[in-house]
Structure formats: C-alpha cells, structure tokens
Amino acid sequence: MKKFPILILIVSLAALLLFQSRVVIPLVSEIASSELFMTHTETQADSQSQITPMSNYAFMHCNTYINEELGSEAAITIPSEPINSWDIGGYQYVINAEVEISSSTTAPSFKKYVCRIEYDNGSDQEGVLNSENWSVLGLSGLDDI
C-alpha cells in the first residue's frame, strides 16, 4: 500500500519529463528561432566602422549631449569627426571619439568616450538636426569628470 504513492510519483515525473522533452522544448525552440521577436527596419547593422551622414548626425548629437551634461563646469573641444562609428541597425549608432576637456581648476586633458544613440523618427529624415529626435542610450568614458 505504501509503494503505490511512490510509484505514482515516479510515473508522473517520468511522464512530465517525457512531455517536456518531446513537446515543450521543441515548441519553444521553434518559436525562439523564428522571426517573431525580430524588428524590421530599413537600416542593417554593419560590423565595419564607417562614417555615414546619419552617423555624423549621431556624433553631433552625442557631443551636444556631452556639452549639456558638463554644463559650465568645463569647456570641451570637439574633434571634427569620430575615431570610429558603427551603425548597429534599428537607427542606433555607437560613436567612439575623443574630446579635450579643460576647466579653470585642471589642466586640459583628452578623454575618449563611447556613446550609444538612437534616432527616434526611423526613416523620417527631416528631423535629424533636432536633438529631441535623438535618445542617448548610454555614455561611458567621461564618468570621472
């Protein structure tokens, strides 16, 4: 009589494992490999660093963001072009550049930064100059200023 509940437990666990391996895992694998979670945009990611008109706008808006974040604490000198820029798809860009930072209390120094920025208006290129249409998703390298 005591063996019956243990036998039911073992058979239930075996049935659960079999159901999971034969039904659940193949279904989840098929869904994960489908295009269900992909976003389709006109821009495609590029692994090579290249300067395009949109990456130039992204560079400009990253520098505007840095100026706004630093405020009047320090003066920055911005180079004419980034060291590297990548279009990572979905109207998102990664900009790597170097700025010269000087203030009244410290000597001028060069700081490299990486900025990840997104153009919010997608294929509508009319608003690229408006900083409200860009979102800085991350900035690193200037934390100790």
Q: What is the mean pLDDT of the chain?
A: 82
Q: Express each pLDDT in 70-112 by its tens digit.
A: 777 778 888 888 888 888 888 888 999 988 888 777 788 888 8
**pLDDT under 70 in the chain at which residues?**
1, 38-49, 123, 144-145
Rounded Cα gap, residues 75 and 101, in angstroms: 6
DSSP string, 71-120: TTS-EEE--SS-SEEEEEETTEEEEEEEEEEE-SSS--EEEEEEEEEEET
Task: Say what the pLDDT of residue 119 is.
Answer: 87
- Residues contacting 44, CB < 8 A, separation 6+: 87, 89
- Residues contacting 81, CB < 8 A, separation 6+: 51, 56, 59, 97
SS3 38: coil
Tell me the CA distances in angstroms from 15 to 19, 22, 29, 138, one per residue in order: 6, 10, 20, 48
Task: Say what the pLDDT of residue 48 is.
Answer: 62
Task: Say what the pLDDT of residue 15 is.
Answer: 96
Task: Say what the pLDDT of residue 23 is.
Answer: 93
Task: Say what the pLDDT of residue 13 is.
Answer: 95
Rounded Cα gap, residues 77 and 98, in angstroms: 9
Task: Say what the pLDDT of residue 145 is.
Answer: 58
Task: Say what the pLDDT of residue 47 is.
Answer: 59
